[in-house]
Structure 1
Amino acid sequence: MTQLFCEQCGLPIPAAESACRSCTQEELDEYRVVREYLRMNPNSNAMQIANATGISVSRILRYIKNGSLTMVNDGPNRRNR
């Protein structure tokens, strides 16, 4: 049987997981910070969020990629439908 390791810190983890409990909790806490920031600043981009929260751009982009966050465009080029 192959031992699996946390993608973030390298600790051994159960087969059904991709991260250890500690890293999973840290990611959940950071996600909540990002969501709250976006609630208060809805037109922010990933760099602005990272600068304001201290959470890495790569982690913010991961939230977008996995569907946890959705970016909307309210800029001047947005089409009315």
Structure 2
Amino acid sequence: MSQICSQCGHPIPLHESSGPTCMQCELDEYRIVRNYLRSHPNSNAMQIANATGISISNILRYIKSGSLTMVDNDRRRPGR
């Protein structure tokens, strides 16, 4: 028994969330975002999307899943 991949429309096994082609594309996109952030660590989702061409929804999904983490860069001194 199988289900349909929500990204590509091809049949996939029930325990998978996407097809093998989509999974490779996801991994490739994640690597692009990760590499961009290594060079531009203070970028926000919009800047990443504009620079890489990867959708904001995918970037936010990486954050939500824990694949990427957000850092609070608030540089205010204590007591200010």
Cα distance change, pair 78–33 in 1 and its aligned pair in 2 (3 A): farther
> 1:15: which partner in 2?
14
Task: Give the letter aligned to residue 6 of structure 2.
Answer: E
Runs of 4+ in 1 over 6 A off after TM superposition: none
Spell out the pairing of 1:1-81 with structure 2 (5 A cutoff). 3-77=2-76
Task: Give the letter aligned to residue 55 of structure 1.
Answer: I
TM-score (norm: length of structure 2): 0.89
Query: Structure 2: 5+ residue runs without aligned partners?
Result: none
**Aligned mates of 1:16, 1:78 — CA distance in 2:** 49
RMSD in angstroms over aligned alpha carbons? 1.6
> Aligned pairs, how many?
78
Query: Structure 1: 5+ residue runs without aligned partners?
Result: none
Cα distance change, pair 50–5 in 1 and its aligned pair in 2 (3 A): same
The alignment partner of 1:35 has SS state of helix
TM-score (norm: length of structure 1): 0.88
Cα distance change, pair 77–46 in 1 and its aligned pair in 2 (3 A): farther
